[in-house]
A and B are shown apart, each in its own frame.
Chain A
Amino acid sequence: MFRPSWSWLFLLIPIFGVAWFVFAINEWPPLAGHWFPQDISAHGNIIDSLFNTILWLTGAIFVGTGIAMFLFLHKYDASYNADPVKYVHGSHVLEVVWSIIPAATLLFIAIYQMSAWANAKVLRPNQPALAEVTGRQFEWRIRYAGEDKIIGTEDDVFTVNDLHVPLNEDVVLAIKSDDVLHSFFLPNLRLKQDVVPGMKQFVWFKPLYERECDIVCAELCGWGHYKMKGRLNVVPRQEFNQWLANKRAEQETSSFTPPAIEEDDES
């Protein structure tokens, strides 16, 4: 039965919450372009399915909790209940149940995601890092290992905010910070790793599509955090080699002829 009450306002919370996600997932305006960007990595579907699993789980609990809260608020609204408040000690069984169910759920998530975590953070492919990415306020400085595949030698190639990686290959990057906490985030590769000053860490991925996409910082690192943006280019191996060779040649520019000056013709 309908009776006017404040509790209806609280019913809007689960409704709005669900509507928000429905709009975003279906790319409906005004939330078009707010759901996941295109996944171009080999491992991304694992991360996405984990995300979706947890979203469904928490979504169901969110909706259930929202509706339960509404029902109770509605039923016991003071304007329609003249009875005095009764003191209830609580239900031991209920408390045990609502402790065990979340605990079991969390344990399930912990076990369910184990291999995803291991693949993303532990089982590094057995190969040297392609490049070292250094976060600093507010840019990504990138240092390619060069031909000898060792970072820190004279054939290293340096770029700023410009990361090229070969297509269809495992790529390992060493990441570190020059100053403060950053977070190296490749949205299209479902990869994110905090960058901690004084620690050298590794990230790895395998890009499956030729794309140009963003490198962003996902940890508030100062006033310019929002503009700490780089470009990631996934290109075929041959193109990558050519690009790296060009960068190296440019870095070794060792003669300079000033461009010819056009003399003003007064005639």
Chain B
Amino acid sequence: MSRQNLFMISACDSTTVARSWVSVLVVGLALLLGGCDAPQAEFTLNLPFLHSKNVSAPRDQEIANILAALFGTPDEPYLMSAGEIDHRDIVDPVSLKLSAGPVSRDEFGTARGLYREHCVHCHGISGNGAGPTAAFLNPYPRDFRKGQFKFKSTPSGVKPTHDDLKAILVNGIAGTAMPSFAAALSGPEIDALVDYVKYLTIRGQVERSLCISVEELEDGDAFDLAAIMEEAVAPALEAWKIADQQVLAIPPRPDDFDTVESLRRGREFYFGVGGCVKCHGDTQLGDGVLTDYDDWTKDYKDWGNLPVTTPEQVKEKKQFEETYYSLGGLPLRNIKPRNLRHGIYRGGRRPIDIYRRVRNGIEGSPMPAAAMRPPGAGPEVPGLTESDLWDIVNYVRHLPYEPMSRPRAEEPLNDRPPR
């Protein structure tokens, strides 16, 4: 504010300074008294989802009130135990203290407001993946409220483990705007943020359950809080608790992984039983299917299945889109299969990372889990075995090093003959 006043003085012509002194003082005082305070941080409702479930006033306000009672505010967040689950087993209350609230330091110099310092500009105050910078990013930041995560050691439909989420904060996600926080944050700070992500996820999922349950309510009926705790909050908590038990065990990679034979088999599966070729394309450039959408985009409407063959249908889709944007949805974007020749691995480049994605699929994206052969079945039954998966992993890991994957060489700038 004082900077603004200084600017105004310096911008004035010297002869008019005296005359404008009064007005500068008045404006300065007005700013001083009125303050240029930031708006109060508040959780926003999941408007596209409310709209898709036909939730309207006054139900939306009721939902907001219930959420505020169950989860607090961005400055004072809390979780409650539900069913038999102790909320402290899922999210450490200290983590919420460190992550939430405005950016500051407490009397011991510990950083507070970590989420608002490092995450909020992309992931949004409600974890809706639509912060101020989100629209400029490709891919968009993750919307936590749907409760789905892509890169994890557990199968689709199961929550990631604490370590899975932590790995993403530590390593970043190559090929996206998600950076590594390893140098910027300490271990406990990263743990605190992971816990806060869980908190936002649980809150977002309860919000969704409430929206869905509106359909079952008669006009004038109030929400049944006990039922909400039992049917919405408890399962949302429990999902995090049981994730650790469903981590995929990965058998050791066969020793022949770097042989031509393994690569040949991997290639065969890629074009054959594996079905990879359908989306990732004949040349592995990820150009097989370019018209699909991810689950977060389909949340409001299944745009992929929306027919647009007649002019009326096109017009209808346009109307849907406009409503979607008016509710705060980001511009629609197709999800593209990965270009396997780039050597950029969003979910990690270790063999086990790629194995997991091939085996379990990528939740929320069109990437399906591998079609495995039932245990004990003979070779006549179609499907993949674990050693087949390893061949696919070896093949995929080798693709960026094939001659045709090489990018055009850069022009070296200060590359003169060495001394």
Contacts and interface: CB of A to CB of B under 8 A. Distances in A.
B352 A158 contact: no
Contact of B419 (A125, A152, A224, A261): A125
A139 B252 contact: no
B110 to A, nearest CB: 19
Given A125-B418, A126-B418, A162-B182, A196 B413 contact: yes
B350 A227 contact: no
Given A153-B401, A201-B413, A256 B153 contact: yes
A202 B250 contact: no
Contact of B249 (A158, A228, A256): A256
- Most chain-B Cβ atoms within 10 A of its Cβ — which of A121, A154, A162, A196? A154
B251 interface: yes
A162 B121 CA distance: 25
Contacts of A138: 179
Contacts of B247: 256, 258-259
Interface residues on A, range: 35 or more
Contact of B179 (A139, A152, A200): A139
B350 A200 contact: no
A83 interface: no
A123 B415 CA distance: 9
Interface in A189-225: 196, 198-202, 223-224
Contacts of B180: 139, 160-161
Interface in A221-246: 223-224, 227-231
Given A224-B179, A255-B251, A200 B410 contact: yes
Interface string B389-419: 0000000011001000010011111111011
Given A199-B411, A201-B413, A202-B414, A254 B183 contact: no
Interface in B115-164: 118, 121, 133, 153
A199 B411 CA distance: 5
B213 to A, nearest CB: 30
A154 B412 CA distance: 23
Interface string B252-281: 110001000000000000000000000000
A124 interface: yes
B171 interface: yes
Given A125-B419, A200-B410, A254-B257, A261 B401 contact: no
Nearest to B351: A254
A214 to B, nearest CB: 8
B415 A124 contact: yes
Interface string A246-267: 0000111111111101000000
Contacts of A196: 413
A141 interface: yes
A227 B180 CA distance: 10
A31 to B, nearest CB: 21
- Most chain-B Cβ atoms within 10 A of its Cβ — which of A141, A160, A256, A258? A256
Contact of A124 (B257, B349, B355, B419): B419
Interface residues on B, range: 35 or more
A158 B177 CA distance: 18
A176 interface: yes
A152 B172 CA distance: 21
Where chain B touches its partner, the secondary structure class is loop
Interface string B234-256: 00000000001101111111000
Nearest to A122: B416
B172 to A, nearest CB: 6
A254 B352 contact: yes
B90 interface: no
A7 interface: no
A137 interface: yes
B415 A141 contact: no
A228 B182 CA distance: 11
B61 to A, nearest CB: 34
B402 to A, nearest CB: 11
A122 B172 contact: no
Contacts of B419: 123-126
A122 B249 contact: no
A199 B352 contact: no
Given A158-B349, A229-B183, 16 more contacts: A124-B419, A125-B419, A160-B172, A162-B182, A196-B413, A198-B411, A199-B413, A200-B411, A227-B118, A227-B184, A253-B351, A254-B352, A254-B355, A258-B247, A258-B248, A259-B247
Nearest 5 pairs of A and B residues by beta carbon: A126-B418, A254-B253, A258-B247, A255-B252, A200-B410
23 contacts: A124-B414, A154-B398, A158-B349, A161-B180, A161-B182, A198-B411, A199-B410, A199-B411, A200-B415, A202-B415, A227-B179, A228-B179, A230-B183, A251-B349, A253-B351, A254-B252, A254-B257, A254-B351, A254-B352, A255-B250, A255-B251, A255-B253, A256-B249
Interface of B: 118, 121, 133, 153, 171-172, 174, 177, 179-180, 182-184, 244-245, 247-253, 257, 349-352, 355, 397-398, 401, 406, 409-416, 418-419
Interface of A: 121-127, 137-139, 141, 152-154, 158, 160-162, 176, 196, 198-202, 223-224, 227-231, 250-259, 261
